């Protein structure tokens, strides 16, 4: 089991370093364009009812800005736990996606419970049996939901006329890998000689397994593969939504109220233009500041006037 433990530790290290790299890379990107993608869950309840923005107000810059993050948190919690966007836009996909996501959530909670038992077992004697039973039930539910959800999504992507054109090999592989992880976990949970929970506790405590459990070993190998693979896939949307929603979609902070935003905009405007077009005369010799302040009339031809 120590070799399995080392493999999992190495995979966890790659997982965190890979995701840290992705986050840092996004944070160092140039400032995004200022736009609104409605609905915007900020401001008064009346405005949140239809997803409006304080930019609707005439001369908004002369009035107190009514905003806040409470609506954002509520909106994102509904999206995380109930996948509201999928429910509203693609009902046939929603049930499978919900099952898969809840399988993942329950799996992570159950793993945390087993790690807590393995590390703090001596101090949890009064609740050890209860936690163990809860973790076993959580694992069973997680793996069952995960298998059903991932296989349902696979079938939907392959056979749905609406999704068939977007069923990339990467997406199909991701779902197949998740189905294999949950399926092997479900088999290992009911192994009569050495179930998954004991194998996981052995791995945490660097102990050799007390009996052979190939299904548990296969399961851990698949989990390690998933952890290494995850940071380099679109599955990172689980946390990238913070940047695309909070940082772009709902960002309504005026530049005049944020020194950092003003500095980012100034940096962007100082960048050179690396392309040309008929409406931007001599663009390769300009900065974005000069392009943004021009009328866009330079270099127009007779055809453009038509």
3-state secondary structure of 57: coil
CB 197 within 8 A of CB 132: yes
- Say if residue 11 is exposed, middle or buried (CB neighbours under 10 Å; 0-12, 13-18, 19+): buried
Strand partners, 277: 280
Separation in Å, CA 37 to CA 22, 58, 251: 24, 19, 10
pLDDT for residue 192:
63
Q: What is the DSSP letter of 192?
A: S
- Block residue for tokens 């772009």: 248
**Taking the complete model, does pTM exceed 0.95, yes or no?**
no
pLDDT for residue 292:
75
CB 93 within 8 A of CB 153: yes
How far is residue 243's CA from residue 229's CA, in Å, rounded to a whole number?
A: 21
- Block residue for tokens 């296969």: 218
Strand partners, 128: none
pLDDT for residue 109:
94
The ranges of the chain annotated as CATH 1.20.950.20 are: 2-30+68-249
pLDDT for residue 264:
81
How far is residue 92's CA from residue 71's CA, in Å, rounded to a whole number?
A: 27
pLDDT for residue 260:
78
3-state secondary structure of 282: coil
How far is residue 294's CA from residue 304's CA, in Å, rounded to a whole number?
A: 17
pLDDT for residue 14:
97
Cα four-point dihedral sign 184, 190, 194, 200:
positive
* CA nearest neighbour of 245 among 25, 38, 81: 38
Q: What is the DSSP string of 95-155?
A: HHHHHHHHHHHHHHHHHHHHHHHHHHGGG-TTTHHHHHHHHHHHHHHHHHHHHHHHHHHHH
Write down the CATH number for the domain with range 2-30+68-249: 1.20.950.20
Mean pLDDT for each consecutive 10-residue tract of the chain (306 residues)? 80 96 90 72 83 84 80 88 92 94 96 84 66 88 97 93 86 96 91 71 66 77 96 92 84 76 83 74 71 60 48
């Amino acid at each position: 089991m120590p070799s399995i433990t080392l493999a999992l530790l190495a995979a966890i290290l790659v997982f965190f370093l890979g995701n840290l790299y992705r986050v840092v890379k996004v944070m160092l990107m140039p400032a995004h364009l200022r736009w609104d993608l409605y609905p915007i869950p900020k401001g008064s309840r009346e405005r949140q009812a239809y997803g409006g923005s304080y930019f609707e107000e005439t001369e908004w810059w002369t009035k107190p800005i009514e905003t806040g993050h409470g609506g954002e948190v509520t909106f994102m919690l509904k999206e995380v736990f109930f996948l509201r966007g999928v429910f509203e836009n693609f009902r046939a996909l929603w049930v499978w996606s919900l099952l898969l996501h809840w399988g993942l959530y329950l799996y992570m909670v159950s793993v945390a419970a087993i790690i807590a038992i393995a590390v703090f077992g001596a101090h949890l004697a009064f609740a050890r049996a209860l936690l163990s039973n809860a973790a076993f039930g959580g694992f069973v539910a997680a793996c069952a939901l995960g298998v059903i959800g991932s296989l349902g999504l696979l079938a939907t992507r392959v056979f749905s006329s609406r999704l068939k054109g977007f069923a990339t090999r990467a997406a199909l592989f991701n779902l197949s890998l998740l189905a294999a992880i949950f399926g092997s976990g479900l088999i290992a949970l009911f192994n009569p000689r050495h179930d998954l929970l004991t194998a996981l506790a052995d791995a945490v405590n660097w102990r050799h397994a007390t009996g052979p459990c190939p299904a548990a070993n296969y399961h851990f190998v698949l989990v390690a593969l998933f952890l290494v693979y995850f940071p380099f896939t679109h599955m990172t949307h689980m946390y990238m939504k913070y940047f695309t929603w909070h940082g772009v979609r709902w960002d309504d902070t005026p530049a005049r109220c944020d020194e950092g935003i003003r500095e980012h905009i100034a940096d962007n405007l100082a960048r050179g233009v690396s392309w040309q077009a008929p409406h931007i005369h001599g663009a390769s010799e300009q900065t974005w500041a000069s392009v943004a302040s021009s009328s866009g009339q330079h270099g127009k031809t007779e055809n453009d006037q038509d």
